[in-house]
Chains A and B, each alone.
Chain A
Amino acid sequence: AQSVAQPEDQVNVAEGNPLTVKCTYSVSGNPYLFWYVQYPNRGLQFLLKYITGDNLVKGSYGFEAEFNKSQTSFHLKKPSALVSDSALYFCAVRDMRAGGSYIPTFGRGTSLIVHP
């Protein structure tokens, strides 16, 4: 079974400050991890993904995420937040083990609010 948790419903940060949106996961095999962003009344936009390799993954719009196997986490980060980053962020995981589902499981989403 695969599952993902986003422990925060909402994250508030001041513009210019670093931001972190948390995500933890549970899989039987190796994880295949994603971050998506959703702006109001829009579909999800792909930000980045981790399959293997370097634990720090760089994605779109200056976002990056750090894979931590021991803590089973894949937190999304950005060094300096912009007001335009305010949106809903979804973490997703897929179990890479043979025979596992190719359908990712999505977290419930975290609303990021960046204050001017």
Chain B
Amino acid sequence: GAVVSQHPSRVICKSGTSVKIECRSLDFQATTMFWYRQFPKQSLMLMATSNEGSKATYEQGVEKDKFLINHASLTLSTLTVTSAHPEDSSFYICSARLTNSLAGGTDTQYFGPGTRLTVL
């Protein structure tokens, strides 16, 4: 099946440092990947849509200069949290869009296992 990996699974950093999170689609190519943030016991908050070879589209209220997204290949998107602060501590989840051209172009999102970021 479609597998998406994320690295690292857990990261602890000091305030003011930058953290990079990688999202990879392991057995399919994904022109589109998504980055979500999830607070405890809450739903997913879409942060941005990452398109291979172009700039990411950010949701309203998400600072693009703070959350840098790069989608340099069809299997890799990265999220860099720049100058992280304790309020950035959260669970970050990526997903990759698998398009089934044989089924009317319908698609399914497959999610990575998530990255727990703790900023001290």
Contact = CB atoms under 8 A, between A and B. Distances in A.
Provide the main secondary structure of the chain B interface: strand
A106 B44 contact: yes
Interface residues of A, number: 21
Contact of A51 (B34, B49, B103): B103
B60 interface: no
Interface in A25-58: 32, 34, 36, 41-46, 49, 51
A90 interface: yes
Interface in A93-115: 102-104, 106-109, 111
Contacts of B91: 41
Interface of A: 32, 34, 36, 41-46, 49, 51, 88, 90, 102-104, 106-109, 111
10 A-B pairs closest in CB distance? A43-B111, A44-B111, A108-B43, A43-B113, A43-B114, A43-B112, A43-B93, A106-B44, A109-B43, A106-B43
